């Protein structure tokens, strides 16, 4: 008698510990092996783009916070840069420096969540709490500056909400001194752990050309060996004044573009961000941070697409203005949304546990995927 | 390469497909393309050795809100006719130049040819444009709703004249 | 032994066996589980730079009691599509399997639940029931995650029994007895008489035995770690993949029983390792009772030593859990079949040759 076998369908999510939110992955399984992965998104769709059409430009800023809630500062940053380009607005130099410092601190905070939860996905809980312990310190800096810990509404069109508090630069310097050894601690505990390497090296390999074709950006693209960072390649704000490297994946533990590379690129990026913050603190000029904030934001008719290097990749805002106080259309090119699309390509032939490893290495934020 | 030069190359290659070069008051200019030929233009831009547009940065659809506005007594309104637009932001990671393509379709028959064959990236963006604005991408491999529920049948939310349904699956929608 | 004592006391063998069976449960397993749960939370908290439970009692020492009160009050949810008889019996079976092990473990020289000659054999055999319980729980829950967890768990437990058994056989070759009490007594004297240091062997054989005994200890420790489903071998629970494996669908007291079984099991395997390699209840340095001339003090000291050794290994298990990531299912099998079993087998052969000297 011939035995009959059939594929098993397993719904990973919408409520699942390691989908990082409400994502549903429909897995087609052959035993423990993946035949196909079909992502279903939209559980967190909050109609950001529709809401934005009914609001004035400054009113939209708090809503951008709520998209990628782990990198709120950078979402505001991207949005105001776009609107300023549409308005043709010049902002004071001090504002640009503040934005860069905030953006890079946010990048570290966001990467800490990515790395920590990745460790938790692989089964190591302790690095997760270590990362959150350090992230708390950054959040305290943000709280001191903007009054909020997660959703800041700090970077405004033409400036920032208020100047840095007096102690901020000193505390940030102290944080840098504190944080550098913590990266080494994380490396010792997790990055170079044999089991961790076994679980992530040679898993979910993403070649460079596929990555570009799928529109993958950010640490994921760099892990595939492409030196591409909008802070250098399509520079904005004052990033051209700083000296920093773009880390790329080298396939140190396996193949270029595997999960371990994606993880390690983020570690290296944190070090580069520290470097940028250090330089920015030393160079920051004095000045008024609210002088250029326009009383009424009414851009001329036109459209503009501006992109910035969010912790997760290329965050683009496409704004169409019809000359009124409300935008006619805002479309967000959300890096998580784009990066997630490649998952079915990465997972084929791997096991269930690898799907978790791959999903974690993409580092999605569902608030941004669904907007 | 500047946008103008790219436009000249395209104009030479596809004389009737390329409609015009639109210069904007503010922001960026774009090249207007026939919606039913957009895939050919895109695959040329992708393959051509000088242009090498290997990356699609963004694909966005817009409701132009330019039809005849018909307001009803309760304040809700509807556009009769009018157009929808799709914008393609392209970039060459190697040659470092960028370009924007645009295409406009009638709201009554919003057919645009899909560019998913050229850039896989377009897949989810086109699904999103279909989901939220109802643009029908021809030759798309998997044109389903993506952000809204699969069984949403009350229209396309990002259209300017979209109205919430009263009930969805027996649940009251406006609350 | 305790059984004879109760037989004399109650005059009936049946009541004596009931009492001596329940005694370790109430005197040892339950209090241990209470303390171990709190210990786990405190240990993990301090490893992770936090404080852990702090509110209930001084530094949260009553936290576990509060948790148990909560679990007792919780509704016992049984889904419609569960296989009810199997679903209800599974936690009992898992707990029975891990608890029954305690019957043959010698806590002191004068207390052993049942001093059977096949003690070691019995322990290995009875702990196999746990697999059936886990498979039952996974199947009866009628949930794909629990099923996957149960399948993984069954494969894992059965695989890791093999290296465990090989090391047990290695010890048997030297001692020649399956009786755990005798096995312990054979290691009496000071700590250099423990099996890890070659037991009672003398001269060149002892020196030759030490490295192989250490290898044997490492192998059996790793495999027992796998048998209790602790990180890095907790793939059957695998919180981030399978939600929580075979006990996903359980709530309230049934979940608590699984939990209890896990902690009982942790101590049981540690106790086996202690008996086999670290002289069981024996003191490494002699007894205070001998020095003071108080013979009744000796069993108390022995119990303390046994608990101390066992808890030390439980602490190592916790330490590993909060440090290491989790293996993947195929890597887990690879470790067992490609490394542990060959090593255990070669170890068996060499120790066999040494004992011929």
A197 contacts chain C (CB < 8 A): no
Phi, psi of A342 (to 5 degrees): -85, -5
Interface test with C, best of A16, A23, A123 (most C CBs within 10 A): A123
CA atoms of A290 and A288, how far apart (whole Å) = 6
Q: Which positions 75-114 of A are in contact with B (Cβ < 8 Å)?
A: 85-88
**Does A1 have pLDDT greater than 70?**
no
Tell me what pLDDT residue B119 has. Answer: 86
Q: Which of B28, B123, B157 sits opposite A304 (nearest CB)?
A: B28
Tell me what pLDDT residue C1 has. Answer: 58
CA atoms of A356 and A358, how far apart (whole Å) = 5
Tell me what pLDDT residue C2 has. Answer: 63
Interface B:C, ≥3 CB–CB pairs < 8 Å: no
pTM of the model: 0.86
C52 contacts chain A (CB < 8 A): no
Tell me what pLDDT residue A20 has. Answer: 79
CA atoms of A206 and C132, how far apart (whole Å) = 42
- Least Cα distance to C170 among C183, C154, C156, C181 occurs for C183
Rounded to whole angstroms, what are the CA distances from B82 to B64, B133, B134, B161? 7, 13, 14, 11
For the ranges A342-346, B19-23, C71-75, C309-313, the lowest mean pLDDT is seen at B19-23
pLDDT band of A324, cuts 50, 70, 90: confident
* Percent over 70 (pLDDT), chain A: 100
Q: Which of C48, C327, C329 sits opposite A195 (nearest CB)?
A: C327
Task: List the chains bordering chain C where 3 or more Cβ pairs fall under 8 Å.
Answer: A
Between A62 and C175, the higher pLDDT residue: A62
**Does A368 have pLDDT greater than 70?**
yes
* Percent over 90 (pLDDT), chain A: 2
**Does B26 have pLDDT greater than 70?**
no
Q: How far is A304 from chain B (nearest CA, A)?
A: 5
* Percent over 70 (pLDDT), chain B: 95
Q: How far is B125 from chain A (nearest CA, A)?
A: 8
Q: Do A314 and B57 touch (CB under 8 A)?
A: yes
A215 contacts chain B (CB < 8 A): yes
For the stretch B82-141, pLDDT in tens is 888 888 888 888 888 888 888 888 888 888 888 888 888 888 888 888 888 888 888 888
pLDDT band of A364, cuts 50, 70, 90: confident
Tell me what pLDDT residue B20 has. Answer: 73
pLDDT band of B76, cuts 50, 70, 90: confident
Q: Which positions 337-356 of A are in contact with B (Cβ < 8 Å)?
A: 337-338, 341-342
C327 contacts chain A (CB < 8 A): yes
Q: How far is A330 from chain B (nearest CA, A)?
A: 9
- How many CB atoms lie under 10 A from the CB of residue C49? 11
pLDDT band of B17, cuts 50, 70, 90: low
Average pLDDT in chain A: 86
**Does A215 have pLDDT greater than 80?**
yes
C183 touches C280 (CB < 8 A): yes
ω into residue C232 within 30 of 0, thus cis? yes
For the stretch A173-202, pLDDT in tens is 899 999 989 898 888 888 888 888 888 888
Q: How far is B152 from chain A (nearest CA, A)?
A: 12
Q: With a cut of 70, which residues of chain C have pLDDT below it?
A: 1-4, 24-25, 113-114, 199, 201, 238-240
Sign of CA dihedral A48, A49, A51, A56: positive
The ipTM, to two decimals, is 0.86
Average pLDDT of span B65-84: 77
Average pLDDT in chain B: 81
Residue position matching structure tokens 């904030």: A293
User: How many residues in chain C?
Assistant: 357
Between B95 and B17, the higher pLDDT residue: B95
For the ranges A151-160, A309-318, B35-44, the lowest mean pLDDT is seen at B35-44
CB contacts, 8 Å: A212 with chain B: 54-55, 93
CB pairs under 8 A between A and B: 106
């Amino acid at each position: 008698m011939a035995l009959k076998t059939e594929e098993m369908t397993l719904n990973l999510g919408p409520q699942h510990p390691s989908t990082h939110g409400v994502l549903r992955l429909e897995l087609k399984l052959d035993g423990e092996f993946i035949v196909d992965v079909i992502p279903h998104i939209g559980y967190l769709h909050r109609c950001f783009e529709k809401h934005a059409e009914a609001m004035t430009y400054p009113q939209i800023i708090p809503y951008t916070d709520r998209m990628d809630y782990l990198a709120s500062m950078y979402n505001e940053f991207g949005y105001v840069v776009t609107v300023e380009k549409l308005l043709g607005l010049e902002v004071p130099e001090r504002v640009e420096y503040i934005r860069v410092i905030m953006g890079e601190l946010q990048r570290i905070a966001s990467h800490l969540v990515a790395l920590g939860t990745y460790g938790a996905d692989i089964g190591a809980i302790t690095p997760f709490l270590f990362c959150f312990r350090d992230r708390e310190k950054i959040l305290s800096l943000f709280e001191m500056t903007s009054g909020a810990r997660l959703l800041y509404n700090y970077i405004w069109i033409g400036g920032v909400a208020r100047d840095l508090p007096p102690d901020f630069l000193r505390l940030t310097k102290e944080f840098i001194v504190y944080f550098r050894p913590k990266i080494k601690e994380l490396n010792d505990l997790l990055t170079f752990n044999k089991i961790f390497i076994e679980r992530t090296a040679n898993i979910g390999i993403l070649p460079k050309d596929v990555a570009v074709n799928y529109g993958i950006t950010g640490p994921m693209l760099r892990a595939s060996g492409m030196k591409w960072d909008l802070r250098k390649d399509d520079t904005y704000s004052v990033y051209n004044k700083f000296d920093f490297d773009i880390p790329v994946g080298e396939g140190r533990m396996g193949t270029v573009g595997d999960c371990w590379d994606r993880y390690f690129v983020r570690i290296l990026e944190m070090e580069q961000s520290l470097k940028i913050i250090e330089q920015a603190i030393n160079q920051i000029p004095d000045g008024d941070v609210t002088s250029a904030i326009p009383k009424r934001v009414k851009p001329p008719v036109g459209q503009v697409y501006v992109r910035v290097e969010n912790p997760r990749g290329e965050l683009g805002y496409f704004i169409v203005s019809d000359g009124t106080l409300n935008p006619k259309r805002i479309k967000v090119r959300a890096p998580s949304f784009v990066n997630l699309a490649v998952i079915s390509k990465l997972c084929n032939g791997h096991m269930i546990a690898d799907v978790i490893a791959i999903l974690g290495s993409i580092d999605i934020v569902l608030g941004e995927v669904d907007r | 390469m500047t946008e103008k030069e790219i436009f000249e190359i395209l104009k030479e290659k596809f004389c009737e497909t390329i409609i015009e070069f639109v210069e904007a008051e503010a922001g960026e200019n774009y090249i207007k393309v026939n919606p039913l030929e957009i895939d050919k233009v895109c695959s040329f831009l992708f393959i051509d050795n000088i242009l090498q547009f290997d990356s699609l940065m963004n694909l966005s659809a817009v409701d132009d809100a330019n039809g005849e506005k018909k307001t009803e007594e309760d304040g809700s309104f509807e556009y009769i006719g009018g157009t929808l637009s799709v914008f393609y932001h392209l970039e060459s990671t190697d040659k470092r130049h960028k370009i924007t393509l645009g295409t406009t379709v009638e709201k009554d028959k919003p057919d645009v040819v899909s560019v998913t064959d050229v850039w896989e990236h377009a897949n989810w963006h086109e699904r999103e444009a279909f989901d939220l604005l109802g643009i029908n991408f021809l030759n798309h491999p998997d044109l389903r709703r993506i952000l809204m529920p699969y069984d949403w049948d009350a229209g396309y939310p990002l259209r300017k004249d979209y109205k919430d349904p009263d009930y969805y699956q027996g649940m009251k929608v406006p609350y | 032994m305790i059984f004879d004592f109760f037989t004399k006391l109650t005059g009936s063998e049946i009541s004596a066996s009931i009492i001596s069976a329940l005694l370790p449960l109430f005197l040892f397993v339950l209090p241990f589980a209470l303390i171990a749960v709190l210990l786990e939370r405190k240990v993990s908290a301090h490893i992770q730079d936090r404080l852990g439970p702090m509110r209930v009692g001084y530094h949260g020492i009553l936290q576990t009691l509060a948790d148990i009160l909560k679990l007792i009050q919780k509704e016992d949810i049984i889904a419609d599509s569960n296989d009810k008889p199997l679903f209800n019996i599974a936690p009992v079976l898992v707990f029975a399997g891990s608890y029954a092990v305690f019957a043959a473990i010698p806590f002191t020289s004068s207390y052993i639940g049942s001093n059977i000659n096949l003690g070691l054999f019995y322990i290995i055999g009875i702990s196999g029931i746990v697999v059936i319980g886990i498979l039952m729980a996974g199947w009866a829950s009628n949930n794909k995650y629990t099923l996957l967890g149960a399948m993984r768990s069954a494969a894992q437990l059965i695989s890791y029994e093999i290296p465990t058994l090989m090391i047990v056989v290695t010890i048997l070759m030297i001692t020649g007895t399956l009786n755990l009490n005798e096995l312990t007594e054979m290691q009496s004297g000071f700590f250099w008489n423990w099996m890890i240091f070659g037991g009672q062997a003398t001269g060149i054989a002892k020196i030759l035995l030490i490295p192989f005994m250490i290898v044997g200890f490492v192998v059996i420790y790793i495999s027992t770690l796998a048998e209790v489903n602790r990180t890095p071998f907790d793939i059957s629970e695998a919180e981030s993949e399978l939600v929580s494996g075979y006990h996903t669908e359980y709530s309230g007291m049934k979940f608590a029983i699984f939990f209890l079984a896990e902690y009982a099991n942790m101590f049981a395997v540690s106790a086996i390792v202690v008996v086999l390699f670290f002289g069981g209840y024996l003191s490494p340095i002699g007894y205070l009772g001998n020095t003071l001339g108080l013979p009744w003090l000796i069993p108390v000291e022995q119990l303390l030593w046994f608990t101390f050794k066992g808890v030390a290994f439980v602490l190592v298990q916790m330490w590993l859990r909060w440090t290491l990531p989790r293996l993947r299912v195929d890597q887990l099998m690879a470790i067992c079949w490609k490394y542990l079993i060959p090593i255990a087998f070669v170890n068996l052969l060499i120790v066999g040759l040494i004992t011929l000297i």
